[in-house]
């Protein structure tokens, strides 16, 4: 069966959708593998004597095996050898692609989405995700319908399993954390990629580990970084000092203090800025970063660089600049000296290291600056191109000018991973924000009818 590529495959973070529905089908996986071989491996099996290598990892979703095996089979048929890392975090796959080295890495994961979704994140040999331009090139190849010839004889690729050795990867940072000074920890593994790892790491800290028994359908289910209230409630229930929550593929981090107060990505970045004793340079975030975070950085002589929403845009900017710290409010945290992509577990350990070394509680660190009030709304929408409607655009511009007069701002954008329009407003006073967001939500719903 030939897949038809009649619309954009790639969203904010790779290919994503409901498993076994377009675009997350076996046929699309095979077409993507073929296009990637043409773009990065030059139809290797045809003439090359050395077989290129692709690494494949997955999270704990029930559909992970389907897409892992589909990709592996197609790559091998085209003369590309495959190493399967099994259940692994996205940052660890990125590291293995760099160190192996491999031409490509593919993470089968829908990150923070529900279990019935799945996705494909593609990493180049440098451990970075594809750029928008590279994604467009891949889609063009797929739409043109040109395919590599299957390899024959000895040129067929091989497939083997590879132990990602996560404990060895974090060995150095683990040795520098003064565990006794941390108090009681609660760690939420989101029933995801980090579930096999966090128990071994954090129980050595005397931590209480929750949501670490994945069954294929409970990943991110009312737990993890996508549901911060779960870690806040767990901290209060266990009378803990710190709560740590990861997402399904281990690239997002959210913290909670002993009062159950949530510490988001902006505040985690502030903690890392203080731990690095930064007083100059750049920190990279997105258009969603809170204004108060920007003002905090300015007070330290640091420039906040804002990119489009998505950790890959942050990583792209950082790869071409001197910036070492970046991330977004949702909890993607990138420390370039460690990895070119977000690593939630490493970021958590760095925060704990700083807290223990300088005797500053997570509660104190979480109050480095006070976020401005925000109002956000996710509007379910059938067609996200509604934002191109001239009436909608005019209304958004009017509301943006209106909020600007109140020293506030408005961001309206389509979700790159779900059928949603995301509305976000922030400023010193909450009432003008709520008024604007309510009006805009009503307008979007009326225009869609």
| In a domain? residue 167 | no
SS3 83: strand
| In a domain? residue 169 | no
Cα atoms in the Cβ-side hemisphere of radius 13 Å centred on 412: 24
Q: What is the pLDDT of residue 47?
A: 55
> How far apart, in Å, are the Cα atoms of 276 and each of 263, 281, 335?
19, 12, 11
- The reply to whether 182 and 318 lie within a common domain is yes
- The reply to whether 115 and 246 lie within a common domain is no
CB 44 within 8 A of CB 33: no
Q: Output the DSSP codes for 92-111.
A: HHHHHHHHTT-SEEEEE--T
- The reply to whether 425 and 280 lie within a common domain is no
Its domain, for residue 155, covers: 10-162
Q: Report how many domains make up the chain.
A: 3
CATH number at residue 350: 3.40.120.10
Using alpha carbons only, what angle is made at residue 232 by residues 200 and 287, rounded to the nearest 5 degrees? 95
Q: What is the pLDDT of residue 44?
A: 52
Residue at a domain's end among 333, 365, 397? 365
Residue at a domain's end among 320, 347, 365? 365
CB 208 within 8 A of CB 240: yes
Give the list of residues 6+ apart from residue 26 with CB closer than 8 angstroms, or none: 66, 67, 70
Best CA proximity match to 408, nearest among 292, 275, 283? 292
Give the list of residues 6+ apart from residue 435 with CB closer than 8 angstroms, or none: none
- The reply to whether 340 and 269 lie within a common domain is yes
Q: How many CB atoms lie within 10 A of CB 352?
A: 25
| In a domain? residue 55 | yes
| In a domain? residue 170 | no
Best CA proximity match to 60, nearest among 88, 83, 22? 88
- Residue whose pair of structure tokens reads 């109002």 in the numeric block: 375
Q: What is the pLDDT of residue 5?
A: 45
- The reply to whether 286 and 410 lie within a common domain is no
- The reply to whether 286 and 230 lie within a common domain is yes
Best CA proximity match to 71, nearest among 84, 62, 88? 84
* Pairing status of strand 253-257 against strand 242-246: antiparallel
Cα–Cα distance measured from residue 96 to residue 91, given in angstroms and rounded to the nearest whole number = 9
* Pairing status of strand 325-327 against strand 253-257: unpaired
- The reply to whether 209 and 151 lie within a common domain is no
| In a domain? residue 172 | no
| In a domain? residue 313 | yes
- The reply to whether 116 and 80 lie within a common domain is yes
| In a domain? residue 420 | yes
- The reply to whether 94 and 207 lie within a common domain is no
Report pTM.
Answer: 0.91
CATH number at residue 394: 3.30.310.50
* pLDDT tens track, the chain, 449 positions: 344 444 589 988 999 999 999 999 999 999 999 999 999 986 555 455 689 999 999 999 999 999 999 999 999 999 999 999 999 999 999 999 999 989 999 999 999 999 999 999 999 999 999 999 999 999 999 999 888 999 999 999 999 999 999 999 998 888 888 666 678 999 999 999 999 999 999 988 889 999 999 999 999 999 999 999 999 999 999 999 999 999 999 999 999 999 999 999 999 999 999 999 999 999 999 999 999 999 999 999 999 999 999 999 999 999 999 999 999 999 999 999 999 999 999 999 999 999 998 999 999 999 999 999 999 999 998 888 899 999 999 999 999 999 988 889 999 998 877 788 999 999 988 999 999 999 999 999 887 75
- The reply to whether 231 and 360 lie within a common domain is yes
DSSP H or E stretch at residue 143:
helix 132-144
Best CA proximity match to 183, nearest among 200, 166, 208? 208
Q: Alpha helix (H) ranges present in 54-194?
A: 64-77, 90-99, 132-144, 166-169, 171-175
Residue at a domain's end among 365, 396, 428? 365
Best CA proximity match to 248, nearest among 169, 189, 332? 189
| In a domain? residue 2 | no
Euclidean distance between the first and the last CA atom of the chain, given in angstroms as a whole number: 36
Cα–Cα distance measured from residue 365 to residue 327, given in angstroms and rounded to the nearest whole number = 17
Indicate which residues carry an active-site annotation. 111
- The reply to whether 245 and 394 lie within a common domain is no
- The reply to whether 325 and 354 lie within a common domain is yes
User: What would the two tokens of residue 90 be?
Assistant: 């996205």
């Amino acid at each position: 069966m030939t897949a038809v590529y009649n619309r954009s495959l790639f969203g904010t973070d790779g290919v994503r959708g409901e498993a076994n529905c377009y675009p997350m089908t076996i046929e699309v996986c095979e077409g993507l593998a073929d296009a990637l071989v043409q773009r990065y491996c030059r139809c290797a099996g045809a003439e090359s004597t050395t077989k290129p290598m692709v690494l494949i990892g997955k999270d704990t979703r029930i559909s992970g095996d389907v897409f892992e095996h589909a990709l592996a089979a197609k790559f091998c048929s085209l003369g590309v050898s495959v190493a399967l890392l099994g259940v692994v975090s996205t940052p660890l796959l990125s590291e293995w692609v760099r160190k192996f080295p491999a031409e490509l890495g593919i993470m089968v994961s829908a990150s923070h989405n529900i279990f019935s979704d799945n996705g494909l994140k593609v990493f180049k040999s440098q451990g970075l995700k594809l750029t928008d331009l590279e994604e467009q090139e891949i889609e063009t190849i797929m739409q043109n319908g040109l395919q590599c010839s299957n390899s024959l004889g000895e040129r067929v690729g091989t497939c083997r399993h590879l132990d990602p050795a996560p404990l060895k990867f974090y060995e150095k940072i683990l040795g520098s954390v003064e565990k006794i000074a941390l108090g009681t920890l609660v760690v939420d593994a989101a029933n995801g990629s980090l579930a096999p790892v966090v128990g071994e790491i954090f129980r050595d800290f005397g931590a209480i580990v929750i949501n670490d028994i994945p069954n294929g359908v409970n990943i991110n289910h009312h737990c993890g970084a996508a549901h911060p209230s779960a870690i806040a409630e767990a901290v209060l229930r266990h009378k803990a000092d710190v709560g740590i929550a990861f997402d399904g593929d281990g690239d997002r981090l959210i913290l909670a203090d002993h009062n159950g107060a949530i510490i988001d990505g902006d505040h985690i970045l502030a903690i890392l800025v203080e731990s690095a004793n930064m007083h100059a340079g750049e920190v990279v975030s997105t258009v969603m970063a809170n204004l108060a975070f920007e003002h905090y950085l300015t007070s330290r002589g640091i420039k906040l660089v804002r990119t489009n929403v998505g950790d890959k845009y942050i990583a792209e900017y950082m790869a071409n600049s001197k910036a070492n710290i970046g991330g977004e409010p949702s909890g993607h945290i990138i420390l370039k000296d460690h990895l070119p992509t977000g690593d939630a577990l490493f970021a958590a350990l760095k925060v704990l290291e700083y807290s223990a070394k300088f005797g500053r509680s997570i509660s104190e660190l979480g109050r480095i600056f006070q976020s401005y009030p925000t109002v956000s709304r996710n509007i379910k929408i059938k067609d996200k191109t509604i934002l191109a409607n001239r009436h909608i655009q005019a209304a958004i511009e009017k509301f943006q000018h209106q909020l600007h007069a109140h020293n506030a701002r408005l961001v309206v954008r389509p979700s790159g991973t779900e059928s949603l329009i995301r509305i976000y407003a922030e400023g010193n006073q909450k009432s003008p924000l709520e008024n604007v967001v309510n009006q805009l939500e009503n307008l979007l719903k009326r225009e869609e009818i």
